Every structure is written in C-alpha cells, then in structure tokens.
Amino acid sequence: MRNATRAFVSTFGAIMALAGIEHGIGEVLQGNTAPGGIMFPSWPDSAFFRSLNGEPAMTIIPNLLVTGIVAILVSVALLVWVTVFVQRKRGGLIMILLSFALLLVGGGIFPPILAMIIGAVWTGISASLARWRARPSGGLRRILGKLWPWSYVACIASWVALMCGPGLCDYFFGVESMELILGLMAFAFGTLLLTILAGFAHDTARRIAD
C-alpha cells in the first residue's frame, strides 16, 4: 500500500463517520422532543446499547429530531471528506473541523474526538515523516514498517469490536462485562498507537526507496 497513513486515516475516519450516522438515527427515532440537557443518550430505550448507557452524545440544538438529522448530514460530509478529499491541502484541518461540529450536534462523544485526533495525526504527517527520515534508527523503522499490515487489520478489527461487541454480547448472550469493555479499549488504543507509528515507518521507507 503506497500511503499507509492515508489509508488508515480514511478507513478509521469512515468508521467514526458511520458511528455518527448511527447516533443520528437513534436521535431521529426519539422524535420531535427536547433532550434532557446538553448530554443525553442517543438510544435511551435500546436493549442493544444498554451496556453502553444508551450511547451518550451532546448537542447544542434543543430538539432531538433536528439534532439527529444534522448529525447524519455532518457524518455524511465527514465520510465523503475522509474517503475522497482528505489528501488535499488542509485535509486534516477540515477533518478536525467536521469532527468538532459532529461532537456538537449529536454525533456521539468518542467517535468525533477520535476523528479529531486522527485528523491531527494527518495534519502533522509531513513533519513527522521528515523527523523519521532524519533519524538513523533504520532497524526499528524496518520492523515497524513490516508490522503495518497486521497492525492495521488488528486496529480496525479492535475498534469495530469495541463499538459492536459489548452490545452483541449483552443483547444475545446476556453478558454485560465492564472488564470486557476495558480490555477492548486497552487493545484498541494500543493498536491505534502502533498503527500510527507503523504507518509512518512504512511511508518513510517508501519515500527513501524512491
């Protein structure tokens, strides 16, 4: 894969955008009502999301139906941007701004924040690659570069499992475990960091080879 970091940013950003759409659907289904406050559950009556406390979100819009519609629209904009346009100039900055807007209009808490973090990673990629190239640690760079495909798959799988696994276990098997959630979170964040570093190493090796 020619640009590992771009592939990761696009895939991870798309997953976060889809999570925003899912939050928006839950808010639309609550109808033309006002939220109980700035913070509220996207799916308050859903057995599937019970283990996640109804999937908390926040909004500055005093209407859940409008909040859900806007959340879906902003999520679609984010999805299109990260999959088609993120490589453009200021692509990471636009990703951060869309993610921040999503945070304010009911797109959940963790998905927009994580998308902002990944947007920041993409924004700083050029300087980061330059620093990697200047360092003599070629052995470590090669090792991390070779880990890239495996860390990429593990990272995406762990985040999908974190978003869907607790609900599936609770809904179908009656298993509601905080230990499971914390374990998935630890693995997901660990593979996230590893994939960012491995992507930098992979891309740096490609640029040096060119």
More confident residue, 145 or 40: 40
Question: Of the ranges 41-50, 54-63, 95-104, which one carries the lowest mean pLDDT score?
Answer: 41-50
- Phi first, then psi: what are they for 176, rounded to 5°? -120, 100
pLDDT band at 178 (very low <50, low <70, confident <90, very high): confident
Give the model's pLDDT for residue 130.
52
pLDDT band at 171 (very low <50, low <70, confident <90, very high): confident
What separation, in Å, do the N-terminal and C-terminal C-alpha atoms of the chain show? 14
At residue 42, the pLDDT reads 95
Looking at every residue in the chain, the average pLDDT score rounds to 87
Instruction: Evaluate if residue 120 carries a pLDDT over 60.
Output: yes
Phi and psi dihedrals of 34, rounded to 5? Answer: -90, 140
| Domain that includes residue 11, residue range | 4-209
Q: Report the helix count and the strand count for the chain, using DSSP H and E.
A: 7, 2
For residue 84, the 8-state DSSP code is I
Q: Which residues pair with 152 in a beta bridge?
A: none
Tokens encoding 137: 């640690």
Is 193 in contact with 117 (CB distance < 8 Å)?
Answer: no
**At residue 16, does pLDDT exceed 90?**
yes
Report pLDDT digits (tens) over 60-115: 999 999 999 999 999 999 999 999 998 888 888 999 999 999 999 999 999 999 99
Q: What is the mean pLDDT of residues 185-190?
A: 94
The count of domains in the chain is 1
